[in-house]
Structure 1
Amino acid sequence: MTYIINQRTQAITSIETNYYRTIIYEENDIIYETATPMEILAESCLYYGSAYEGRKELSRKILKSNSKLPFVIDPDLGIFFMPTTSHRNHSCAWFSYFHIKDFIQLQDKLAVKLNNDQIIYVNVSQNQFDQQMKRTSQVIAYFYKLYITQNKMVLFISD
């Protein structure tokens, strides 16, 4: 069975070995998986009740863009993943937005510090990563507005 992204999942990176294709960083664990990061993202979307293509199309519409789209795994659980590069790039790493504590440029690599103080080094500039953070926050804001609107309607109906 393919790994399912959950609230403890902090990051997903690709590796090339004879067997494993992905490293998954959880709050208190590191897991090696035979599925690719994209297979894990797609399977996780289905697990939480949405199709991968539907989630991709939603991000595309919100951001009016086709590249480096953040992924909404489950908005109710606050699971939003952002890629560092195009998902077609083997060096693409995926980070859970709410697990990112800090990031800083170190010469040719970016150090991404997670909430558990673990550091993952990626091949992307600080500006590019910051841009991805902002794009992901736009997607999160879209869901937050939906949530607020729905709750106002519930309050209005129940009065």
Structure 2
Amino acid sequence: MKKKIEQENYLISKSTEVLQPVFHMYYSTVVWEGDTIIYVKAPCYKILDDSCLPRGASYDGRRTAVIRKIGTKIKVPILVCRQEEIYAIPTMSPKNYNCIWIFYHHVDDIAIDKNRPGKCIVIFKSGNQLPLDVSYYVMSKQLGRTARCITVFSSM
């Protein structure tokens, strides 16, 4: 049984697996942390920005740094914290309200969703699974971009 918590704001940590936007009257984001679900009033972008700032840069600053270092301009992974190796992966354009953010070091595998052609499922090390409305190819590409980002920033 998952533990459920409600809070106003949230700071991303090594425990964060997923930031998932939701349409709800009282909260905007559902955060996954292993066996805990946290309902947060703040939207995903604010959580990301608030989590980057105490670590030395804004979300926009981190995004610009990643673009310059790895060259990609679309669906840019975000280096939330280099020291803690926290990297966030957007499943689609962050401008799209339905963009889910997945945290790289929690991903165990991705699989083709056999019940939904053209879609995939992310399997986390915790055993949690998240069906996504993106293809296996897109998610593989996102994981590759993030791995490249990790390689570049860990050597600095």
* TM-score normalised by structure 2 residue count: 0.89
Give the structure 1 partner of residue 135 of structure 2.
125
For 1:127 and 1:28, how far apart are their aligned partners in 2?
A: 28
Q: CA separation in 2, counterparts of 1:4 and 1:104?
A: 29
Q: Does 1:63 align with 2:70?
A: yes
Taking only aligned residues, the RMSD between alpha carbons, in angstroms, comes to 1.1
Once residues 121 and 90 of structure 1 are traced to their aligned partners in structure 2, the CA distance between those partners, rounded to angstroms, is 17
The partner residue of 2:152 within 123, 139, 142 is 142
**Number of the residue aligned with 2:3:** none
Q: Among residues 37, 44, 48, which one is paired with 2:44 in the alignment?
A: 37
User: Bigger CA drift: 122-131 or 43-52?
Assistant: 43-52
Residue identity opposite 1:3 in structure 2: Y
Q: Which amino acid aligns with 2:140?
A: D
- Whether contact under 8 Å (1:4, 1:47) holds in the other structure is no
SS in 1 for 2:9: coil
Q: CA deviation at 1:19?
A: 1.5
Which residue of 1 is the match for residue 104 of structure 2? 97
Tell me the TM-score normalized by structure 1.
0.88
Larger CA Rg, structure 1 vs 2: 1
**Hey, what's the Cα distance between the residues in 1 that align with 2:132 and 2:54?**
28
Aligned twin of 1:152: none
Provide the C-alpha distance between the structure 1 equivalents of 2:79 and 2:32, rounded to a whole number of angstroms: 18
Shift of 1:64: 1.4
Of 18, 21, 27 in structure 2, the residue corresponding to residue 20 of structure 1 is: 27
Would you identify which runs of 4 or more consecutive aligned residues in structure 1 move more than 6 Å? none
Which structure shows the higher helix fraction?
1
Q: Between the two proteins, what is the percent identity of the paired residues?
A: 28
Structure 1: which 5+ runs fail to align?
A: 147-159
Structure 1 position 20, deviation (Å) = 1.0
What residue ranges of structure 2 are gaps of 5+ in the alignment? Answer: 1-7
Q: 1:95-119, CA deviations, whole angstroms, 9 ceiling, x for partnerless residues?
A: 1100001111112431111110001
Q: Partner of 2:72: helix, strand, or coil?
A: coil
Distance in 2 (CA, whole Å) between partners of 1:40 and 1:97 is: 17
Kindly indicate whether the alpha-carbon contact (under 8 Å) linking 1:91 and 1:123 is maintained by their aligned counterparts in 2.
no
